[in-house]
Structure 1
Amino acid sequence: MAMRVNWSPFTGGLGAKSRPPTTQFLRHSQTRLASSGLVYSSSRPSGSEKSKFNWTSPTTLVLGFIPIFTFGLGTWQIQRLKWKVALIEELEEKSRREPLVLPKRINLSVLPEFAYRRVLLTGTWDPDPSHTILLGPRTRDNVLGYHIISPLIRGDGASSILVNRGFVSRDTLEQGKQIMQGVRSDIPKTAALVADAAKQGKVQVVGMLTSAAKHNSFTPDNKPETGEWYWADADAMAKVASGQNGDVQPVLVDELFAGDGAEASRRSTHGIPIGRPPEIELRNMHATYAATWYSLSAATAFMFVALVRRGRGGRDPKFTRRVT
Structure 2
Amino acid sequence: MLLIGFIPVFTFALGTWQLQRLKWKVNLIDELEEKLQLQPLSLPRRINLSAIPEFVYRKVSLRGKWDHDHTLLLAPRVREGVHGVHVVTPLIRENGSTVLVDRGFVSNDFVSTFQNEDGEVEITGMLRTSQPRNTFTPDNRPDEGKWYWTDVESMAEYVGGEKAGVQPVFVEQIFEGHAGEAGTRLLKGIPIGRAPTIDLRNAHLSYVITWYALSGLTAFMFARILIHKKRFTGRKLPRFN
TM bucket normalised to smaller = over 0.9
Contact 1:234–1:251 at 8 Å: present in 2 too?
A: yes
2:95 corresponds, among 148, 156, 162, to 156
Displacement of 1:118 in angstroms is 0.3
Distance 2:162 2:55 in 1: 29
Q: With structure 1 as the length reference, what TM-score do the two structures score?
A: 0.69
Matches within 5 A, 1:1-324: 60-128=1-69, 131-157=70-96, 159-173=97-111, 189=112, 192-193=113-114, 196-197=116-117, 199=118, 201-242=119-160, 246-313=164-231
SS at match of 1:111: helix
Residue identity (%):
52
Distance 1:280 1:320 in 2: 68
Which aligned segments of 4 or more residues in structure 1 are displaced greater than 4 angstroms?
Answer: 314-317, 319-323
Number of residue equivalences: 240
- Taking a change above 3 Å as real, the CA distance of residues 66 and 246 of structure 1, as seen in their structure-2 partners, is same
Contact 2:65–2:91 at 8 Å: present in 1 too?
A: yes
- Taking a change above 3 Å as real, the CA distance of residues 167 and 313 of structure 1, as seen in their structure-2 partners, is same
Distance 1:116 1:230 in 2: 21
RMSD: 2.3
Displacement of 1:218 in angstroms is 2.1
69-78 or 244-253, larger mean C-alpha shift: 244-253
SS at match of 1:242: coil
Contact 2:68–2:90 at 8 Å: present in 1 too?
A: no
Structure with max Cα Rg: 1
Displacement of 1:295 in angstroms is 1.5
Q: With structure 2 as the length reference, what TM-score do the two structures score?
A: 0.92
Contact 1:116–1:211 at 8 Å: present in 2 too?
A: no
Question: Could you list the per-position Cα deviations for residues 130-168 of structure 1 after superposition, in whole angstroms to 9, with x for gaps in the alignment?
Answer: x110001010011110000000000333x1000000000
Gaps of 5+ in 2: none
Gaps of 5+ in 1: 1-59, 174-188
- Taking a change above 3 Å as real, the CA distance of residues 74 and 321 of structure 1, as seen in their structure-2 partners, is farther
Q: Which residue of 2 aligns with 1:46?
A: none
